[in-house]
């Protein structure tokens, strides 16, 4: 996106506008926090405009009977006076080497398909036919089927072996009204809706999904190619993303996904691996129905063709007025729907902690073995942090909360399901009660330390073991951040990479609750020079001072005993990794150098979009 030119004159109002919208978004948020899901951070709500344009895009090739069943089912559906246009894309046969007889047969088949489509009457809007001059294949048929002409135009893509329920449009219209045009249920993360019966989990070798019977509507990242409604903006974004990746020779590989195997076999014959890779990189979702008893608004007859060598028969049962009362299908508020990733693991987007009140629910929801990790995002580059979070995903580390100042990066992390604490807002919420003030030179450090002191206190009150670390380390094992040290004392301090661990105990809590905020504020203020703020101004030093003042005992560890210093080691010294809990690097290294080192150690696990290069599912 292009940056607007920032002359001072237009910069100031823009800045005010941005700050106001930020305040609005954040102040709107906390009421939803109990459900741990919320979508208030939405900069681009579409204007209400229920008179949207609806395009049915039928992709066909050489199956006349299928096409006829498909078009007939479309024309029998209820459109309730809404204008619906029909666009039919007829692919051309491939050049045939087997002589004139076969060519004549194919020509005849094409002619009969064209005759059928010409004779087919469509009374709900315009009908248009695109007859290709050479074979395009499924990928181009899908990708070239649509370029949205406005944000109020929707495409419903139908391959010719599908059959639609007469209720399908009523359902899609009500879905568009509710999840696109109703501002309080809109999310820019939703790219459309699939009408097929949801069945498989691509991150788990394509295994069957398990979903409970009470769920009627849910969000799932996977695209469904048997009746897919596409929303205009994400589709445009995808087309541009596809262009930039395809043109540069990048491949849509995503380790751990069954669809990557399909791509390796079929290459550019199919389009879904590209779309899946894009959706994974952006963290977007699709709406699905769960109508029970193997029913759906769209079924595939899986006729022999590009996808199937021989006919496999219908995958589900169609619903119609006799078997299904569409009024019973509730369009619940978006906040009450569940979100699932490519592993069909539930994710909770939008957990942003702004004040002490919000904290408790989030801590309860993330703790594991009564242990919580607070991970500080400051001073570390975005790419290093995204790489670290992919390590968390691989190792199934989920008992963390991220702390960082208000930024679009922090919002993006929350949107993708990472629990975050906005330290700016959080600080403001406790500053008032505790009348804390820092001068300008101490403000940044002061905020970070005060918020850490506060969240640690809450965690200890809830009886959790508590870690506080910066994000310039990488855990090497799933239990790196569990309570696995044999400690003589409640406190463990490691100065090499600023690690603090506090054991859940009455004695630790007693030390921590007693005036700790005042003491922390005083010790931040006691750092007189810029230099001392930079070198001594960190949480572990201040905790050490605090414990000394209170004459409390603590363990001091040398993290290098159980960690790998990648600034120092050679990647080929493989034995060095055995039994180590963390990898770290020296603070002088720049991001590019760190990335290079991590690549050598096979610890750089993000792609050029800074999104994880694998989907790793864990047993739930
Ligand atoms: C809605 O669309 C119909 C058909 O295109 C048109 O006649 C009507 O004026 C539109 N109404 C509004 C409010 O835009
Ligand atoms: C193609 O159609 C023409 C005209 O209907 C017919 O004469 C011819 O036999 C057909 N050819 C094949 C190979 O089916
Ligand atoms: C929009 O959605 C909210 C939340 O689900 C609901 O309460 C409200 O009635 C909806 N508004 C309209 C106009 O349907
Ligand atoms: C890690 O290695 C670098 C490079 O050899 C060295 O400068 C640094 O002191 C080491 N860090 C620790 C904590 O040992
Ligand atoms: C490891 O690689 C470095 C160069 O990166 C090389 O100098 C060194 O000899 C290698 N060590 C072993 C044990 O292979």
Examine the pLDDT at 242 and tell me if it is beyond 90: yes
Gap between the terminal Cα atoms of the chain: 39
pLDDT digit string (tens) for 330-360? 899 999 999 999 999 999 999 999 998 899 9
Mean pLDDT of all residues in 593-617: 95
Distance 606 CA to ligand 3 centre (A): 39
- Residue whose Cα lies nearest atom 4 of ligand 5: it is 570
Question: Confidence band (pLDDT; 50, 70, 90) for 223?
Answer: very high
Distance CA 426, CA 439 (A): 18
Residue 495: the pLDDT is 84
Q: Find the helix or strand (DSSP H, E) in which 273 lies.
A: helix 272-282
Three-class DSSP category at 264: helix
pTM for this structure? 0.88
Kindly list the distances between the CA atom of residue 111 and the CA atoms of 32, 87, 106, 131, in Å, as whole numbers in the listed order.
Answer: 58, 18, 8, 11
Mean pLDDT of all residues in 207-236: 93
Residue 281: the pLDDT is 97
Q: What angle do helix axes 64-75 and 99-119 make, rounded to 10 degrees?
A: 10
Closest to 228 (Cα-Cα) out of 153, 158, 175, 305: 158
Q: What is the mean pLDDT of the chain?
A: 88
Examine the pLDDT at 585 and tell me if it is beyond 70: yes
Using a pLDDT cut of 90, give the percent of the chain over it.
Answer: 66
Contacts of residue 257, defined as CB under 8 A and 6 or more positions apart, other chains included, come to: 202, 203, 273, 276, 342, 615
Domain map (residue ranges) of the chain: 39-340, 348-600
Using a pLDDT cut of 70, give the percent of the chain over it.
Answer: 91
| Shortest-distance ligand to the CA of residue 574 | 5
Distance CA 434, CA 430 (A): 6
Ligand 3 closest atom vs CA 177: 14
Choices 2.30.30, 3.30.70, 3.90.550, 3.30.160: CATH for 348-600: 3.90.550
* Token digits of residue 92: 């051309």
Residue 569 phi, psi dihedral angles, 5° rounding: -80, 160
DSSP class per residue in 536-563: H-SHHHHHHHHHHHTT---EEE-GGGGE
* Token digits of residue 288: 């699905």
Q: Is 51 in the pocket of ligand 1 (CB under 6 A)?
A: yes
pLDDT digit string (tens) for 380-397? 999 999 999 999 999 999
Ligand 1 closest atom vs CA 51: 1
Distance CA 508, CA 179 (A): 48
Residue 136: the pLDDT is 95
Same CATH topology for 39-340 and 348-600: the answer is yes
Distance CA 272, CA 279 (A): 10
Q: Is 83 in the pocket of ligand 1 (CB under 6 A)?
A: yes
- Residue whose Cα lies nearest atom 5 of ligand 3: it is 333
Q: Are 77 and 106 in contact (CB under 8 A)?
A: no
Distance CA 598, CA 509 (A): 38
Residue 439: the pLDDT is 86
Distance 45 CA to ligand 3 centre (A): 14
Higher pLDDT, 518 or 239: 239
Distance 555 CA to ligand 1 centre (A): 73
Examine the pLDDT at 328 and tell me if it is beyond 80: no
Q: Is 126 in the pocket of ligand 1 (CB under 6 A)?
A: no
Residue 49: the pLDDT is 58
pLDDT digit string (tens) for 261-312? 999 999 999 999 999 999 999 999 999 999 988 899 999 998 777 677 777 7
Specify the long-range contacts of residues 377-380, CB closer than 8 Å, at least 24 apart. 377/402, 377/403, 377/404, 377/410, 377/471, 378/403, 378/404, 378/405, 378/448, 378/470, 379/470, 379/472, 380/470, 380/471, 380/472
Question: Confidence band (pLDDT; 50, 70, 90) for 218?
Answer: very high
Higher pLDDT, 182 or 45: 182
Question: Confidence band (pLDDT; 50, 70, 90) for 224?
Answer: very high
Closest to 145 (Cα-Cα) out of 225, 247, 74, 75: 225
Q: Is 575 in the pocket of ligand 5 (CB under 6 A)?
A: no
Distance CA 419, CA 415 (A): 9
Question: Confidence band (pLDDT; 50, 70, 90) for 577?
Answer: confident
Q: Is 513 in the pocket of ligand 1 (CB under 6 A)?
A: no
- Residue whose Cα lies nearest atom 13 of ligand 4: it is 496
Q: Are 227 and 156 in contact (CB under 8 A)?
A: yes
Examine the pLDDT at 486 and tell me if it is beyond 80: no
Q: Is 35 in the pocket of ligand 2 (CB under 6 A)?
A: no
Mean pLDDT of all residues in 152-173: 96
Contacts of residue 311, defined as CB under 8 A and 6 or more positions apart, other chains included, come to: 301, 302, 303, 304
Q: How far is CA 430 from the centre of its chain?
A: 31
Among 62, 93, 108, say which to mutate for ligand 2: greatest number of ligand atoms within 8 Å of CB. 108
Architecture of the domain delimited by 39-340: Alpha-Beta Complex (3.90)
* Token digits of residue 575: 């034995």
Examine the pLDDT at 76 and tell me if it is beyond 50: yes
Look-up: residue for tokens 């469509």? 122
Q: Is 596 in the pocket of ligand 5 (CB under 6 A)?
A: no
Three-class DSSP category at 368: strand
């Amino acid at each position: 996106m292009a940056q607007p030119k920032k002359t001072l004159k237009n910069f100031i109002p823009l800045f005010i506008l941005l700050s106001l919208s930020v305040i609005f978004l954040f102040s709107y948020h906390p009421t939803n926090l109990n459900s741990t899901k919320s979508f208030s951070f939405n900069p681009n709500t579409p204007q209400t405009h229920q008179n949207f344009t609806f395009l049915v895009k039928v992709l066909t090739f050489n199956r006349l009977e299928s096409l006829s069943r498909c078009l007939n089912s479309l024309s029998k559906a209820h459109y309730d006076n809404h204008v619906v246009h029909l666009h039919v894309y007829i692919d051309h046969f491939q050049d045939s080497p087997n002589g004139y007889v076969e060519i004549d047969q194919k020509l005849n088949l094409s002619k009969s398909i064209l005759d059928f489509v010409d004779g087919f009457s469509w009374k709900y809007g315009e009908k248009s036919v695109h007859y290709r001059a050479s074979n395009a294949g499924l990928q181009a048929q899908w990708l070239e089927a649509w370029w949205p002409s406005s944000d109020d135009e929707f495409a419903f893509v139908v391959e010719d072996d599908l059959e639609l329920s007469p209720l399908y449009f009523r359902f899609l219209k009500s879905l568009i009204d509710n999840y696109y045009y109703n501002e309080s249920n809109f999310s820019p993360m939703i790219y459309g809706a699939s009408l097929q019966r949801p069945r498989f989990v691509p991150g788990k070798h394509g295994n069957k999904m398990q979903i409970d019977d009470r769920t009627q509507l849910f969000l799932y990242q996977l695209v469904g190619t048997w009746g897919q409604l596409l929303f205009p903006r994400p589709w445009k974004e995808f087309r541009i993303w596809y262009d930039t990746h395809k043109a540069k020779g990048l491949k849509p590989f995503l380790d751990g996904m069954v669809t990557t195997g399909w791509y390796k076999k079929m290459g550019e014959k199919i389009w879904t691996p590209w779309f899946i890779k894009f959706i994974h990189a952006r963290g977007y979702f699709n709406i699905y129905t769960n109508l029970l008893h193997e029913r759906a608004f769209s079924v595939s007859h899986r006729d022999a063709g590009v996808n199937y060598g021989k006919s496999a028969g219908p995958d589900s049962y169609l619903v119609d007025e006799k078997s299904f009362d569409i009024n019973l299908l509730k369009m619940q508020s978006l906040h009450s729907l569940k979100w699932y990733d490519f592993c069909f693991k539930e994710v909770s987007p939008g957990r942003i902690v702004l004040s002490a009140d919000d904290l408790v629910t989030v801590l309860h929801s993330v703790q594991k073995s009564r242990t919580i990790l607070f991970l500080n995002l400051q001073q570390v580059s975005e790419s290093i942090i995204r790489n670290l979070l992919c390590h968390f995903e691989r190792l199934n580390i989920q008992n963390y909360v991220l702390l960082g100042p208000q930024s679009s990066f922090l919002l993006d992390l929350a949107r993708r399901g990472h629990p975050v604490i906005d330290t700016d807002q959080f600080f403001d919420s406790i500053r008032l009660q505790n009348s804390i003030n820092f001068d300008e030179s101490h403000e940044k450090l002061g905020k970070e330390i005060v918020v850490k002191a506060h969240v640690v206190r809450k965690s200890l009150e809830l009886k959790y073991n508590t870690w506080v670390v910066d994000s310039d380390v990488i855990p090497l094992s799933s239990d790196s951040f569990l309570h696995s040290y044999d400690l003589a004392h409640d406190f463990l301090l490691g100065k090499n990479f600023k690690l603090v661990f506090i054991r859940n105990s009455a004695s630790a809590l007693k030390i921590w609750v007693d005036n700790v905020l005042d003491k922390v504020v005083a010790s931040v203020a006691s750092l007189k020079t810029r230099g001392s703020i930079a070198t001594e101004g960190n949480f572990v030093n201040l905790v050490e001072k605090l414990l000394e003042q209170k004459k409390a005992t603590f363990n001091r560890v040398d993290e290098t005993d159980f960690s790998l210093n990648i600034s120092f080691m050679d990647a080929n010294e493989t034995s060095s990794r055995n039994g180590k809990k963390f990898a770290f690097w020296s603070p002088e290294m720049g991001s590019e150098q760190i990335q290079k080192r991590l690549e050598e150690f096979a610890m750089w696990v993000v792609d050029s979009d800074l999104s994880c290069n694998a989907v790793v599912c864990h047993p739930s």
